[in-house]
């Protein structure tokens, strides 16, 4: 499998199932083409996509031994200008052969003229879509080539990635419902989440999928660290027999949920057996993490042992 990955290996992807886990950092919204270049109708200060043609030949200039190319484009009635940096010779050849093309940028007024800042030529096949933008690696693979190569593998890689993710998540959640509550995702499957991450139907779906995958990544990272403490390498520590934790719980002005009680029970049982406890308490704001570790800390303190809580 790894032999098919090519330059994706340069960004840390070693196995096929890891391909869908390489997340975009932002998404470009190419779903709407702006109506034209009318100065009074352009969305000043906002990224927008325009359909244009060359008004005249692009001009290549040099500064500090580095080239930049100035373009003047038209919609047939109004003009605007933008600059692209780097070697654009092949791009200029391509644009000279085309009747029209697409450019995205942020319209800005300067000296009474409209310029496109942060301009970028958008391929025809990307128009009408939400395009994920991935981190590349200088000298190895460009962000665009990362996107192209990831797309090649998604159909096979997404089911494989879903299997691997489930293996890791199932160890840390008592039920599917508790997992969905943590992810704040009540309906989508892992396969759907991964698909929307790389081929989103809308901008909102793209960022929803990215948010969910960030939470999954937190759990998977913690699982990787915790898995190093295997049963064969359990560290023996002095057993702690503190106060009955239920007496401590009674002093809390609310009742612990079943999930909180289960975590406290499991943690204290490990401490009482004299085994090193490696654990991760995860959850959104207001889900009761503080109450859980406070009870565990109080139990340890009740045995006159030291406990440190770092916030």
Domain ranges of the chain: 2-24+138-226, 32-126, 234-301
Predicted local distance difference test score (pLDDT) of residue 157: 95
Report d(CA 161, CA 308) in Å as an integer.
37
Q: Do 77 and 60 touch, CB atoms closer than 8 A?
A: no
What pLDDT does residue 112 have?
Answer: 80
Per-residue pLDDT tens listing for the chain (311 residues): 444 888 899 999 999 999 999 999 999 999 999 989 998 888 999 999 999 999 999 999 988 888 999 999 999 999 999 999 988 888 888 888 788 999 999 999 888 888 999 999 999 999 999 999 999 998 899 998 999 999 999 999 999 999 999 888 888 887 888 888 888 888 889 999 999 999 999 999 999 999 999 988 888 877 777 666 555 555 555 555 555 666 677 777 788 888 888 888 888 787 776 777 777 787 777 788 888 888 888 877 776 677 787 76
Question: Does the predicted model carry a pTM greater than 0.75?
Answer: no
Instruction: Name which of 28, 32, 143, 122 is nearest 73 in CA terms.
Output: 122
Alpha-carbon distance 288 to 257, whole Å? 9
What is the per-residue pLDDT for 298?
A: 81
Q: Give CATH for domain 32-126.
A: 2.40.50.140
In this prediction, residue 276 carries a pLDDT of: 73
Distance of alpha carbon 178 from the chain centroid = 22
Q: Which residues pair with 105 in a beta bridge?
A: 48
- Secondary structure string (H, E, C) spanning 3-29: HHCHHHHHHCCCCHHHHHHCCCCEEEE
- Please enumerate in sequence order all residues whose Cβ is within 8 A of that of 90, keeping only pairs 6 or more positions apart, or say none: none
């Amino acid at each position: 499998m790894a032999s098919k990955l090519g330059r994706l290996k340069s960004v840390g992807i070693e196995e096929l199932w890891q391909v869908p886990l390489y997340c975009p950092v932002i998404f470009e919204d190419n779903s709407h083409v702006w109506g034209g270049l009318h100065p009074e109708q352009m969305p000043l200060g906002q990224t927008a996509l325009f359909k244009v043609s060359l008004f005249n030949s692009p001009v290549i200039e040099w500064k500090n031994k580095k080239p930049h190319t100035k373009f003047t484009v038209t919609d047939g009635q109004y003009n605007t200008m933008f600059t692209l940096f780097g070697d654009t010779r092949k791009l200029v050849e391509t644009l000279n052969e085309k009747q029209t093309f697409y450019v995205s940028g942020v319209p800005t007024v300067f000296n009474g003229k409209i310029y496109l800042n942060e301009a970028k030529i958008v391929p025809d096949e990307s128009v009408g879509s939400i395009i994920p933008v991935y981190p590349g690696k200088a000298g190895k693979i460009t962000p665009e080539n990362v996107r192209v190569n990831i797309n090649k593998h998604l159909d096979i890689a997404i089911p494989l990635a879903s299997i691997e993710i489930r293996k890791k998540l199932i160890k840390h959640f008592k039920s599917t419902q508790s997992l969905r509550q943590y992810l704040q995702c009540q309906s989508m499957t892992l396969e759907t989440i991964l698909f929307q991450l790389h081929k989103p139907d809308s901008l909102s779906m793209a960022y929803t999928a990215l948010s969910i995958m960030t939470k999954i990544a937190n759990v998977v990272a913690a699982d990787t660290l915790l898995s190093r403490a295997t049963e064969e390498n359990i560290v023996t520590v002095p057993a702690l027999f503190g106060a009955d934790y239920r007496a401590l719980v009674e002093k809390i002005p609310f009742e612990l949920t079943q999930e909180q009680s289960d975590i406290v029970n499991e943690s204290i049982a490990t401490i009482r057996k004299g085994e090193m406890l490696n654990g991760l308490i995860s959850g959104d704001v207001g889900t009761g993490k503080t109450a859980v570790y406070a009870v565990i800390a109080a139990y340890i303190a009740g045995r006159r042992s030291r406990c440190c809580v770092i916030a």
